[in-house]
Amino acid sequence: MTKTLLCLGFGYTARALAPQLLQAGWKVIGTTRSADDAVPVHGVELITWPGAPLSLDGVTHILSSVGPTAEGDPVLNDLADALAEAAQGDTLEWVGYLSTTAVYGDHDGAWVDEDTAVTPSSQRGRWRAAAETGWQAIPDLPLHIFRLAGIYGPGRGPFAKLMAGKARRIVKPGQVFSRIHVDDIAQVLAASIARPDPGAIYNLCDDDPAPPQDVLGFAAELLGLPVPAEVPFDEAGMTPMARSFYGENKRVRNQRIKDDLGVDLLYPSYREGLRAVRAAEDLETFVPPQETTGV
C-alpha cells in the first residue's frame, strides 16, 4: 500500500519534508485555510480545510503543525473523533505533533531536556501544553511530539531586515535562545517516520544556544554589513508579544534525536545554518546600501 502523509497545516516545515517523501514514492496531502494563499509544492495535493469534511481513509501518517488558540487545538476540536477511530484501525502508522519548547517555561538559562517538567510561563506555552495533553489523551494513537525551538531557514532568516537597515541587536544580559534550521526539522521527522516509537517526545534544536545579538552580528558579517549597534532590552520598545519571548531563558538539549533516531544535524549551530540560508537566498550578488536607517 502506498504510504500517505496528511499534513494538517501545509506550512513552512511541511514544505521542507514533503519533497523527501514524494521522491520515495509517497502520496502527500496538505491542508490550507485558503487555496489562494497556499504555497504549492509539485506533487502535493492541497485541500482547503476547515471547510468540507476531511477524511482520514487511506492515511497512514499524519503531521499536525496547526497552532492552538484560546479555543483549543483546531485539529482536535474538529477531528478528535476521526483520529480516535483511525487509531483503532490498522492503517494509521505514525502521527507527529509539532509543539514548542515554550512548554518548559523559563529556567533562567539552565539546560532542559525531554524529562524536564512541563511548566509553561507564557500564554502560548500553556496553550501548547494543553494541546499536547489533548493529543496524548486519544487512546492508541501512534503519537510523536516534537518540541521545536525557534525555526529559521530560507525566507526566515535575518538577512532581509539587515539589508533594509531595520535589524536591531537587542541585548538582555544572560539571555539565550535555542534554534533549529527547517531542514534539520525535516530530517528528524523523516527519521522518526522510519523509526516510529509511539509516545516519544523529542526536542528539536541545534547544539548551540546563543544570545540573539550574536546571531544577528554574525549574519551582518556574512553580508559584509556593519554590525548593528546594541539596544538594551529595557529601551527597545518591543511589542508585548516580542517581549514575551525574552521572558523565557533556557538551553535546550537535543541528545535524544541523536541517540534514538541517529540524527546527525546538518546545521549544528547558527553559523553553519546562516551560511546555508545566505546561499539558498542567492545573496551572493548583494551590494550593501550606501546608507541604512535605524539599527
Confidence of residue 244 (pLDDT cuts 50, 70, 90): confident
In the chain, where are the structural domains located?
4-153+181-205+252-261
* In the block, residue with C-alpha cell 544556544: 209
Confidence of residue 52 (pLDDT cuts 50, 70, 90): confident
Distance between CA atoms of 56 and 279, rounded to whole angstroms? 39
* In the block, residue with C-alpha cell 533549529: 180
Tell me which CATH homologous superfamily contains domain 4-153+181-205+252-261: NAD(P)-binding Rossmann-like Domain (3.40.50.720)
The answer, yes or no, to whether residue 293 has pLDDT greater than 50, is: no
The answer, yes or no, to whether residue 295 has pLDDT greater than 50, is: no
pTM for this entry: 0.93
Instruction: State mean pLDDT over 209-233.
Output: 95
The answer to whether residues 257 and 263 touch, using CB atoms and an 8 Å cutoff, is yes
Could you read off the pLDDT of 135-176 as tens digits, one per residue?
Answer: 999 999 999 999 999 999 999 989 988 998 889 999 999 999
Confidence of residue 283 (pLDDT cuts 50, 70, 90): low
The answer, yes or no, to whether residue 260 has pLDDT greater than 50, is: yes
- The predicted pLDDT at position 51 comes to 78
